[in-house]
Structure 1
Amino acid sequence: MSLNHLLLRRTLKNFLRINGNLLRHQSAVNINATRTFITSPSFSLLDPHYGCYSSVPLRNFELGKSNSIFSRCIHSTVTKLSDAAMEPKLESADVEEDDGLMNEFLSRFVWIIRGKISETFPDYDKKTVDAMLLMIVEKVVSEMEKGSFEQSLKASTENRDWDLSEDLWKTVSEVSNMVLDDMKKATKKEKMKGFLLSEEVQEMCRFAGEVGIRGDMLREFRFKWAREKMEESEFYESLEQLKKEACTQEENNDSPSSVEDASEVKSEAVSLPKRRGKIKYKIYGLDLSDPKWSEVADKVHEAEEVLWPQEPKPISGKCKLVTERIFSLNDNEDPSPLLAEWKDLLQPTRVDWITLLDKLNESNRFLYLKVAELLLSEESFQTNIRDYSKLVDVHAKENRLEDAERILKKMNEKGITPDILTATVLVHMYSKVGNLDRAKEAFDTLRSHGFQPDEKVYNSMIMAFVNSGQPKLGESLMREMEARDIKPSKDIYMALLRSFSQRGDISGAGRISATMQFAGFSPSLESCTLLVEAYGQAGDPDQARNNFDYMIKIGHRPDDRCTASMVAAYEKKNLLDKALNLLLQLEKDGFEPGVATYAVLVDWLGKLQLVDEAEQILGKIGAQGDALPFKVHISLCDMYSRAGIEKKALQALRVLEAKKEELGHGDFERIINGLIAGGFVQDAKRLQGVMEAQGFTASQSLQMALRTSQALRGRRLP
């Protein structure tokens, strides 16, 4: 006889001894009614007539695989009913210790079975239902003791004298399985909560928050990390279990029967809890008067505060009216008095303030920024570094540098040192406004924290160097990106190439062009044009022409800007014949010069004092319906001044003075020298004052030319 049957026999004896008086004292009506309904062939907890099939989802039940589960269920149920009826003192020493797992199993199982019986027989009182429970248990245990449970179940439909129906057996077994599954899920959930609160998972979450991972993504990562830790722990626990089993098998190697009995007991211990303690609750549920439940409730509450965010307080009454007044404020009104009144009424916490800010952000962006800045000094808001960096980022993206620096100043006054996220925001902000020194300071702060810049940070710093006229420093950062296997974008390559080209640095432009091709970017019309401009600025028209021809060879058709760059390269060496031959060749291929090419020709012809030819080119620009570029007016003023054509020279000069903000130092020098050469000394002197007012200083040669012209010719009248 198996250990399972021995346990059932002992349980049945205790049950009959303890509950004999109860059965004898039941009223005859109740006992007879109970026997009648239980032994009736129509008694079924799954009968659709009673509406139980649709309300209780039952699972598939295989009889051959459920004996151990079913036996333990019956054993637990008998013990539970005997304790509920008489509450005797148990004699065995094995049941002196409380077992919380068994208590939970019994509580769930008996509660579900009682509910099913009450729904099936709603007209019977509690005593009758209790008697029915006892009768069900007595019949089931008697069949299990005989070892003929399978055969009895198969013959239940044919043998009308058999006591219990097949559906009743299935219901009890399915309830047992359902309770066990729910307990396993609850155990796994509690175990998962423990790993969610573990130090390793919290440390990873803190790091993820520092690098910018928040919200739903952080929550998903947190559960993923906790699940991985739990699976790792279960793996090592299974290894320990295998080790213990191997040791036990070696010790009992000489006794096969002992090994078989031990494996059976072990399988029972793994699948179902063993009762070792007193059940101190009634059949309707646990007795929550025990002090230990208050401790459990406190622990659950603390865990929920960590796992789930706090809910904002409901707003009603006068506080709701104050909230509506806050939302109706104008941009120029001070929200401080209303915020103070709102605080006194609601006594808000951080979650209440954040809820108010979110609603303000949706309705009034400007008011949101004002309130958010005021809350930085509010104690109940519990300000942290993220609140400062978020405001700085918002102001930086909207190009409000003064507001962003004011927030930074408050942050420094509080003694808060910028972290990685704040420094990243500052790099982008100062790079965007062209403040190279502050951008470098923020970039160095990032590196001091051990943070490896990402592609966006590199791009911002490279553009800061490019905009400040230091493309070589930007190129060094680009090489650092490539060393870290971060591929620069095409825009970064083009920005560096453009910067080198504008400065005539042909070596730098060549390096960037070669690097682009190695990176997989084919030469484009823009990159080829920049190389032509670079060689033109450097005064090497032959190399500029080689790049120009190479561009045509690879299939790019020169546009007006590229042709103008090539003509400007020839202008550096005054090779007018080559420039004209190039234009004639391009016109044969269908090219039509545009404003950019004509502007270069006007400037070149003006320097050669070919006034008539230059004016013919101006006529072609006018025929195209385009306005004269600003640079053309500089060329015309210089040409007409040197040619002594006063009316046209002064007309061009008035156009330039109207747009004096667009003039650079070289433009002022050229115009003043042209006026001096044409004898317009008074106009030249006046324009020198405009030049100094714009923040430029005249060169020594220009100052000497002005003094010489005044000494020789005197001041020219207008």
Structure 2
Amino acid sequence: MKLNRLLLRQTLKKFSRINGNILHRQSDVKSNVTRTFVAAPSFSLLDPKFSRCSSIPVENLELCKSNSIFSRCIHFTATKFSDTAIEPKLESSDVEDQDGSMNEFLSRFVWIMRGKISEAFPDYDKQTVDAMLLMIVEKVVSEMEKGSFEQSLRTSTDNPDWDLSEDLWKTVSEVSNMVLDDMKKATKKEKMKGFLLSEEVQEMCRFAGEVGIRGDMLRDFRFKWAREKMEESEFYESLEQLKKEANASPSGAEAAASVEKSEPVSIPKRRGKIKYKIYGLDLSDPKWSEVADKIHEAEEVIWPQEPKPISGKCKLITERILSLNENDDPSPLMAEWTGLLQPTRIDWIALLDKLNDKNRFLYLKVAELLLNEESFETNIRDYSKLVDVHAKENRLEDAERILKMMTEKGITPDILTATVLVHMYSKVGNLDRAKEAFDTLRSHGFQPDEKVYNSMIMAFVNAGQPKLGESMMREMEARDIKPSKDIYMALLRSFSQRGDISGAGRIAATMQFSGISPSLESCTLLVETYGLAGDPDQARNNFDYMIKIGHRPDDRCTASMVAAYGKKNLLDKALNLLLQLEKDGFEPGVETYAALVDWLGKLQLVDEAEQLLGKIGAQGDAVPLKVHISLCDMYSRAGVEKKALQALGVLEAKKDELGHGEFERIINGLIAGGFVQDAKRVQGLMEAKGFTASQPLQMALRTSQALRGRRLP
């Protein structure tokens, strides 16, 4: 920056006059001094908001209190600084806000211009720089008094008739626009702080904390909610302004134009003398520099960054990234985008949000690539978020790949990540990994919540260990966390499938103590439990109790009761039960007929079983798998080769639906009928599914081979 000769001559000439009269004037300053000027850091010390900033050192606060600096505006008196004393004077309340904005603008302007001049003229001493600043400020204030300064900044970058060189005018214009932008941002930040402390935002934050959202995620949500409230408020304010302008003006377009022209921060639009006094321009005390740095650091923490504006070639590349297909590789475009924009984390997050709205699969691919991007500043939450997304969409391999990348980076799973892993591994039935993640939670001192407990209980249930699930449920109850009805029913169902009478009874009793009334399903499960355990009398007691409390037996419950009688071959009691139910309007269904077919098949009553099979077909329902198992066993033992092989073919086609016990029954039936080769083939299917034949079955196969068993003719 170059100063023209005229400015330099005026500066040196006036410097001799103001040296002793302005720069070193202290307590004896006359009351008729006409100008006050504040030189401040990049923030305004006249703004009362800084009186609430916790980042100001204690010693500086004490200094401020002694001179009432932060009470309403900051006064630098001659008793504290040898060459600085500021005392704003306001003529009336009508111009108070205007003078406040003026002081704010001049404070920032002088601070930045001092640095510009010092950089351009490093050899000049402080007094000469102060004199140059006085000349520049006089020109600026003169134009402000005319009311044409801000218009000059907006309309043209050419040098107006200010007696300033072209380079100096460009610098003045650049600094002025910079100050105005900073003032607008500061006003927006202050408005945002008010919404951050609003009752609605605080209530949403409290709710988010209760559901487990904490740390950086809660902070991001808080700013998002506050920003939405601020935008909503600004929208309604603009509507009110439009309404007022429309009432005042016949043209709605004029009202809209006036709203667009209104700015939250601007230089006061008034003519006449500006009331301020200049006693000096030195605010370069190191203490105030420290205050400025700390305040800026505090604002960086509480104020979220905004993404960089995207334009030109970078915008075109962004559109190309958003238009990629699922199978395309986004790496080349991402590298080019990075080179052009030099993005920070907030820029990457903005791009990910756009991808998530448009292409979910591409979003996951780009998010995974960004884990190795240095400018993305990857943290543990980025890993856990991706793992959670893949886990919820049942992509276990992708989730474990992200988890492996995380461990390779030396990042240990924290509480949130471990919680995600508990849910994921419980959902897919990997009990060992679920227990490992659960132990990780406890090692961090985290008390599991209801969702974590439910996931672990279901993991135990799915792994066939209902007793461990029950112990986890007791732990929940000890912590006054009431299990849901679904958890009780899952445990009761697991005990019932194993015929565990004591376990099922404990769960049923606990449900009643918890205030959960017996349902048709819970009563049916108890009937099935006693039936599998071979106790038809207790099964009938539960069956009658179910009717007594008002539940009408359905087809499944009746079939369970028939199967319980079938365990002890009590055919007469089963027939009496069916006759009694038919009198009450009950009609047997597929489940009941299937239980009777299985019973008659074991008794080798082929004709009677086939009659019941015809009734199943008459109802139009598909024959259940367990009926085909019963038929295969019956026909094999009866030596009906054709029908036995036909039923076996159906079972081989549905081998993935067969369990360990069902495989053993089929093989035992084939061996009993002499179909040894077919039995060996089914054993191979059984082992291919991971089942191991029991010791009696292995002995039966070896015995049949030793006797060279053959198919019956």
Query: Is 1:215 paired with 2:208?
Result: no
Distance 1:376 1:106, change over 3 A: farther
Task: Count residues with an aligned counterpart.
Answer: 497
Structure-1 residue corresponding to 2:306: 311
Structure-2 residue corresponding to 1:569: 564
Structure-2 residue corresponding to 1:433: 428
What amino acid does structure 1 have at the position aligned with 2:628?
H
What amino acid does structure 2 have at the position aligned with 1:416?
I
Structure 1 position 574, deviation (Å): 1.2
Distance 1:514 1:704, change over 3 A: closer
Distance 1:484 1:711, change over 3 A: closer
Asked whether the equivalents of residues 90 and 99 of structure 2 are also in contact (C-alpha less than 8 Å), the reply is no
Asked whether the equivalents of residues 481 and 488 of structure 1 are also in contact (C-alpha less than 8 Å), the reply is yes
Residues 168-567 of structure 1 correspond to what in structure 2 (within 5 A)? 209-210=214-215, 213-217=218-222, 283-284=275-276, 289-291=281-283, 295=289, 300-567=295-562
Q: Quick one: which of 609, 614, 619 aligns to 2:614?
A: 619
Structure 1 position 365, deviation (Å): 0.9
Query: Is 1:661 paired with 2:661?
Result: no
* More helix, by proportion: 1
Structure 1 position 533, deviation (Å): 1.0
- The Cα offsets for residues 230-276 of structure 1, whole Å up to 9 and x where unpaired, read as xxxxxxxxxxxxxxxxxxxxxxxxxxxxxxxxxxxxxxxxxxxxxxx
SS of aligned partner of 1:213: helix
SS of aligned partner of 2:88: helix
Distance 1:616 1:95, change over 3 A: closer
Structure 1 position 443, deviation (Å): 0.6
Q: Quick one: which of 97, 103, 106 aligns to 2:88?
A: 103
Aligned CA RMSD, in angstroms, stands at: 3.8
Structure 1 position 381, deviation (Å): 0.7
Structure 1 position 699, deviation (Å): 3.5
Structure 1 position 674, deviation (Å): 1.9
Q: Distance in 1 between matches of 2:479 and 2:380?
A: 30
Distance 1:288 1:540, change over 3 A: farther
Distance 1:315 1:96, change over 3 A: closer
What amino acid does structure 2 have at the position aligned with 1:372?
A
SS of aligned partner of 1:377: coil
Q: Distance in 2 between matches of 1:620 and 1:285?
A: 107
Structure 1 position 306, deviation (Å): 2.0
Structure-2 residue corresponding to 1:681: 676
Residues 52-63 of structure 1 correspond to what in structure 2 (within 5 A)? none
Asked whether the equivalents of residues 667 and 682 of structure 2 are also in contact (C-alpha less than 8 Å), the reply is yes
What amino acid does structure 1 have at the position aligned with 2:610?
E
- The Cα offsets for residues 157-202 of structure 1, whole Å up to 9 and x where unpaired, read as xxxxxxxxxxxxxxxxxxxxxxxxxxxxx9xx89x99x99xxxxxx
- The Cα offsets for residues 305-339 of structure 1, whole Å up to 9 and x where unpaired, read as 22211111111111111111211222122211111
Q: Distance in 1 between matches of 2:97 and 2:703?
A: 114
- The Cα offsets for residues 29-85 of structure 1, whole Å up to 9 and x where unpaired, read as xxxxxxxxxxxxxxxxxxxxxxxxxxxxxxxxxxxxxxxxxxxxxxxxxxxxxxxxx
Query: Is 1:599 paired with 2:594?
Result: yes
**Bigger radius of gyration among the two:** 1
Q: Distance in 2 between matches of 1:658 and 1:95?
A: 96
Q: Quick one: which of 636, 642, 655 aligns to 1:641?
A: 636
Q: Distance in 2 between matches of 1:539 and 1:104?
A: 100
What amino acid does structure 2 have at the position aligned with 1:425?
V
Asked whether the equivalents of residues 89 and 276 of structure 2 are also in contact (C-alpha less than 8 Å), the reply is no
Distance 1:95 1:371, change over 3 A: closer
Structure-2 residue corresponding to 1:699: 694
Q: Distance in 2 between matches of 1:707 and 1:208?
A: 62
Structure 1 position 708, deviation (Å): 3.7
What amino acid does structure 1 have at the position aligned with 2:331?
S
Percent identity of equivalent pairs: 79
SS of aligned partner of 1:342: helix
Asked whether the equivalents of residues 210 and 420 of structure 1 are also in contact (C-alpha less than 8 Å), the reply is no
Structure 1 position 595, deviation (Å): 0.5
Q: Distance in 1 between matches of 2:377 and 2:280?
A: 38
What amino acid does structure 2 have at the position aligned with 1:291?
L
Q: Distance in 2 between matches of 1:95 and 1:354?
A: 48
Structure 1 position 568, deviation (Å): 1.1
Distance 1:111 1:400, change over 3 A: same
SS of aligned partner of 2:371: helix
What amino acid does structure 2 have at the position aligned with 1:419?
D
Q: Distance in 2 between matches of 1:569 and 1:285?
A: 103
Q: TM-score, normalised by structure 1?
A: 0.63
Structure-1 residue corresponding to 2:264: none
Structure 1 stretch displaced more, 315-324 or 601-610: 315-324
Q: TM-score, normalised by structure 2?
A: 0.64
What amino acid does structure 1 have at the position aligned with 2:218?
I
SS of aligned partner of 1:517: helix
Structure-2 residue corresponding to 1:172: none
Structure 1 stretch displaced more, 206-215 or 623-632: 206-215
Distance 1:471 1:717, change over 3 A: closer
Segments of structure 2 that go 5 or more residues without pairing to the other structure are 1-29, 35-76, 101-140, 146-186, 198-205, 227-272
Distance 1:105 1:492, change over 3 A: farther
What amino acid does structure 1 have at the position aligned with 2:214?
G
Structure 1 position 630, deviation (Å): 0.6
Structure 1 position 480, deviation (Å): 1.1
Query: Is 1:628 paired with 2:620?
Result: no
Q: Distance in 2 between matches of 1:699 and 1:316?
A: 72
Structure-2 residue corresponding to 1:176: none
Distance 1:620 1:99, change over 3 A: farther
Segments of structure 1 that go 5 or more residues without pairing to the other structure are 1-16, 23-88, 116-125, 131-185, 197-203, 222-280
Q: Distance in 1 between matches of 2:583 and 2:442?
A: 58
Asked whether the equivalents of residues 674 and 709 of structure 2 are also in contact (C-alpha less than 8 Å), the reply is no
Distance 1:114 1:380, change over 3 A: closer
Which structure ranks higher in relative contact order (CA pairs < 8 Å, sequence separation ≥ 6)? 2
Asked whether the equivalents of residues 110 and 283 of structure 1 are also in contact (C-alpha less than 8 Å), the reply is no
Query: Is 1:590 paired with 2:580?
Result: no
SS of aligned partner of 2:214: helix
SS of aligned partner of 1:579: helix
Structure-1 residue corresponding to 2:55: none
What amino acid does structure 1 have at the position aligned with 2:407?
N
Structure 1 position 710, deviation (Å): 4.2
